[in-house]
Chains A and B, each alone.
Chain A
Amino acid sequence: MSVKQRLEEIFRDVFEDDELEIYDEMSAKDIDDWDSLTHIQLILEIEKAFSVKFTIEEITKTRNVGEFIELLTSKINK
């Protein structure tokens, strides 16, 4: 599975929506449920699933799903 597919699974799980499709420009304003609390939950799930830990800078500077996929891809390739 690609990073995008794995990420999509996590999004579907967190937002409890099996039909959810993520896209590069997607960000918190695109989903009702995506508040700061859910954001923390998302980060935790992603960190666990990919066995990574994000830095403060990475969390604050990533503005949408596309940048997130890039970030993840580079982290797991390190």
Chain B
Amino acid sequence: MNDTELRNALGNIEIEDYLGILKLGKKLIKTIKATEQENCIKIAVLGSCSIQHLVMALKVFLLKYGIQADIYQGEYDGIEMDVLSDDSDLYKFDPHIIILMTNYKDIKIVPGLFADKDEIELHLKREEDHYRNLWDHINERCKCHILQTNFVIPTLRVLGSLEYKYIFSKTNYIQNVNQRLLDAKPNNLDFIDMDFIASYVGKNKWFDYVAYFMSKQAFSLEVIGYVADIIAKMIAAHKGYVRKCLVLDLDNTLWGGIVGDLGFEGINLDPNDPIGEAYLSFQQYVLDLKNRGVILAVCSKNDLDIAKEPFLKNKKMILSLDDISCFIANWEDKASNLRQIAGELNIGVDSLVFFDDNPVEREIVKRFLPEVWVVNVPEDPAYYASALAFENPFEWSYITKEDISRSQSYIHKRQMTLSSLSYNDYNEYLQDLDMQATVKNMDTADFTRFLQLINKTNQFNLRTRRYNEAQIEQFRTDNNYRLISISLSDKFSEYGIISCIILKKIRNICFIDTWVMSCRVLKRGIENLAMENIIMSASEMGCDKVVGEYIGTAKNGMVKNIYTEYGFKPLNKTDEIYKTDPESDLYILDDLSSWTKKPYFIITK
């Protein structure tokens, strides 16, 4: 098996595929001879039961997490033999890590029925002393890290449901032993929570009695992947190979629907809707990860402003902008964006975990950035949190207060610097889009779209005047009106009509009755093109002044000051034109030649 085949096999290995794991493990034993490589760590696996298959599986998962290991395999039921003999092969091997695969059957003596607290304490002390003895022996002869399994609480419950109730039950006793050993452990020891793994897969599946009686296996080989994966992750974390940052897509990942189409209020985060609730639940899980020190980043195919709107304006959002250390939303490919995120956060690309509902995006990242951990996102958002939890990419050796504050400092740094690209970069990007626009007087073919835009646009909408067909038709045939439509295409897509303008000539004044633009194309310079055409049309209509009005609503805050940006001045009223309502703002451009031209990178056809 060559290197590429091996890498592919390792990348595709599934925890549930026990047959595949064993096959691959067998191949690895044949093809990879243990060498004295620099990064090779020496791992000793000792066990009360059979450990051969575990060692095979461990080789697979260690390699998957980038660890070359030379593994010493202890004898069957050989923990005491290896640990307590001064000249054992274990100590000759001089391991960096010792794994003690204990088994609940190691606990030979349990409290009797109706044992009281004092009697139980004697049993607990005995167990504690037994293991302290083992640990002391190891630590006197090795400078190593110890991983020891806790005891899986068995399901042969002699007392039935009373196992839970009585302190002298085997269930409670073993639970107490686990707690006791956790309290007594030395600093260089970490427990492998086997009882959790067994619970997770289901103890019915975990315990395979045929396998135990036939070949003394502690657990069914069907779960070997789960065990080997956790151990390999713990060893990788111990070596410092940890993931630090969760990069999230937005549409259909953090909320239901596409924000560019639905607007920040239309996306599904409805707590009364099962889908909305699923997304909210996922956001909460992500927030919990952030609170324990995982850095969050966003990588979305959206205009930046549109992408941020739900964070700023949708009250149902659980995540806020303050939780995101790096926010990238543009139309670039995600692999480049991920590299940029890593660069901005000053972490390696191999620190990133990528969560995106779109399999195409996931495939692209897998192909071009194989170091990134790409989560296998299920189709149903109901399973987003559990899928991320199952893959468990953020396995660390410990959590410190510094971890928590570090993620906070990334966020502060981001807030202090200007977001993402510099001005020059953005212009280059706009030029790169190859935008083309057609500006014309609205004709009958465009009628429906024109009407639709006027009636459904809320954000880039100066006066929010809604007109029906009859009214539009009336304007179209009135010489005092100009109806202008702007359609746009770029190298990715045809957008059709994305802006509508209605100009009304009142004597020598050109009044901007209506100006709307689709939020899909904000911040691309189209408004600059539109203003240029408004002024040209004003001149053609024989006007020498242009007046615009901003009527504020809950949704159109983004255009509040747009007229001043083009050099218009505030106006109270003219003889002909009054404020439509007392709160609105009127602006006037006195001199058609003195408006503030702003650049755009759009070719007009």
Contact = CB atoms under 8 A, between A and B. Distances in A.
A41 B214 contact: no
Contacts of A55: 210
Contact of A37 (B18, B53, B210): B53
Given A36-B215, A37-B52, A41-B26, A59 B19 contact: no
A44 B213 CA distance: 15
Contacts, number: 29
B19 A45 contact: yes
B22 interface: yes
Interface residues of A, number: 15
Given A37-B52, A37-B53, A44 B221 contact: yes
Given A37-B52, A44-B221, A54 B22 contact: no
Interface string A16-42: 000000000000000000001100110
A56 interface: yes
A56 B52 contact: no
Given A37-B52, A40-B215, A54 B221 contact: no
Interface in B484-539: none
A41 B22 contact: yes
A1 B19 CA distance: 22
A78 interface: no
Interface string B1-37: 0000000000000000011001100100000000000
Nearest to A41: B22
A26 to B, nearest CB: 20
Nearest to A43: B214
A41 B29 CA distance: 15
Contact of B19 (A48, A54, A56): A48
A54 B221 CA distance: 14
Interface in A50-75: 53-56, 59-60
A7 to B, nearest CB: 15
Nearest to B213: A56
A48 B211 CA distance: 15
Contacts of B23: 13-14, 41
Main secondary structure of the interface of B (DSSP, over half): helix
A56 B221 contact: no
Q: Name the residue in A13, A36, A44, A59 with the highest tally of chain B Cβ atoms < 10 Å from its Cβ.
A: A44
B214 A56 contact: yes
Nearest to B22: A41
B216 to A, nearest CB: 11
A48 B18 CA distance: 11
Contacts of B53: 37, 40
A53 B19 contact: no
A40 B221 contact: yes
Contacts of B211: 40
Contacts of B221: 40, 44
Contacts of B26: 41
Contacts of A53: 210
A54 B18 CA distance: 18
B22 A44 contact: yes
Contacts of A37: 52-53
A53 B221 CA distance: 13
Contacts of B210: 53-56, 59
B526 to A, nearest CB: 60
Interface string B56-96: 00000000000000000000000000000000000000000
A53 B205 CA distance: 13
Contacts of A45: 19
A59 B19 CA distance: 19
A41 B52 CA distance: 12
A41 B213 CA distance: 16
A36 B52 CA distance: 11
12 contacts: A14-B23, A36-B215, A37-B52, A37-B53, A40-B215, A41-B22, A44-B18, A44-B19, A45-B19, A54-B210, A55-B210, A59-B210
Interface of A: 13-14, 36-37, 40-41, 44-45, 48, 53-56, 59-60
Interface of B: 18-19, 22-23, 26, 52-53, 210-211, 213-215, 221
Given A13-B23, A44-B18, A56-B213, 6 more contacts: A40-B211, A40-B221, A41-B19, A44-B221, A55-B210, A59-B210
